[in-house]
Amino acid sequence: MSPASPGGSLTLDRGLALLQAVADAEGQGCGVAELAARIGVSRAAVYRLLTPLAERGLVWRDGAKVRLGVGLLRLADRVLPQLRDAAGPVLRALAEETGATAHLSIADADTVQAVAVVEPSWTSYHVGYRVGSRHSISRGAAGKAMTLHKQEPGWVTTAGELQPGAHGVAAPVRGVPGLRASIGLVSLDAIDAKVLGPRVVRAAAELAKILS
């Protein structure tokens, strides 16, 4: 097989840009003219790019609007196990060192989903946190950490926002394109932010390095 031509690489880049533009609409859908303006190509080029994406179920036409397709869910189902595998050692080290329940959460529009949880093995009691749990991105340390701007402090602490008596601290996973995620701790004891804040920041940086 011959190496990919420059034209082929450009087509792939434009196709990915188109898919990102549809995703950025966050469920509202985009018209062809709007997509053309967003990625800087002609409407005819958008129609050509949409054909293979639609054939694979990555987008679909809803009248005049283009929306994300269910084919992305199949891809996500294959990504999450790999993400859990990558995060497992990082979360295990964090949970064992701190004695608190460690978790990796990702953003899904305006909600947060816990995708990996590791409980410490040596504590008499700790917080149980179920994989698949969802909550608003505006509540809890995990979600609020994802909304931090780069110039803001590297972690967020909360108390009793998701579960009475539970304390949380979380830091965003930064530098991984397309991933909005955070690593955090949840504990029944008060959080010492000066100690645990930097620790979750390091864990988030470790995972970002693995995924980059």
> Are 114 and 160 found together in one domain?
yes
> Are 55 and 92 found together in one domain?
no
pLDDT of residue 152: 84
How confident is the prediction along the chain (212 residues), in pLDDT tens digits per residue?
Answer: 334 444 457 899 999 999 999 988 876 889 999 999 999 999 999 999 999 999 999 999 999 999 999 898 888 888 999 999 999 999 999 999 999 999 999 998 789 999 999 999 999 988 888 999 999 999 999 999 999 998 887 999 999 999 899 999 999 999 998 899 999 999 999 999 999 999 999 999 999 999 98
Asked if residue 36 belongs to a domain, the reply is yes
Residues in the chain: 212
Distance CA 104, CA 90 (A): 10
Structural domain of 50: 6-69
From edge to edge, which strands make up the β-sheet containing 101-108?
134-136, 111-118, 101-108, 181-187, 167-173, 156-159
User: What CATH number does residue 201 fall under?
Assistant: 3.30.450.40
The HSE-up count of residue 206 (CA atoms within 13 Å, CB side) is 17
182 phi-psi bin (left φ>0, alpha ψ -120 to 50, beta other): beta
> Are 61 and 85 found together in one domain?
no
10-69 pLDDT, tens per residue?
899 999 999 999 988 876 889 999 999 999 999 999 999 999 999 999 999 999 999 999
> Are 120 and 206 found together in one domain?
yes
- The number of distinct structural domains making up the chain is 2
> Are 104 and 161 found together in one domain?
yes
Q: What distance lies between CA 32 and its chain's CA centroid?
A: 27
Pairing of strands 111-118, 167-173: unpaired
Q: Which of 176, 168, 177, 160 is nearest to 197 (CA)?
A: 168
Distance CA 154, CA 149 (A): 9
Asked if residue 199 belongs to a domain, the reply is yes
Six token digits for residue 127: 């917080």
> Are 187 and 89 found together in one domain?
yes
Asked if residue 1 belongs to a domain, the reply is no
**What is the maximum alpha-carbon separation in the chain?**
64
Asked if residue 176 belongs to a domain, the reply is yes
User: What CATH number does residue 59 fall under?
Assistant: 1.10.10.10
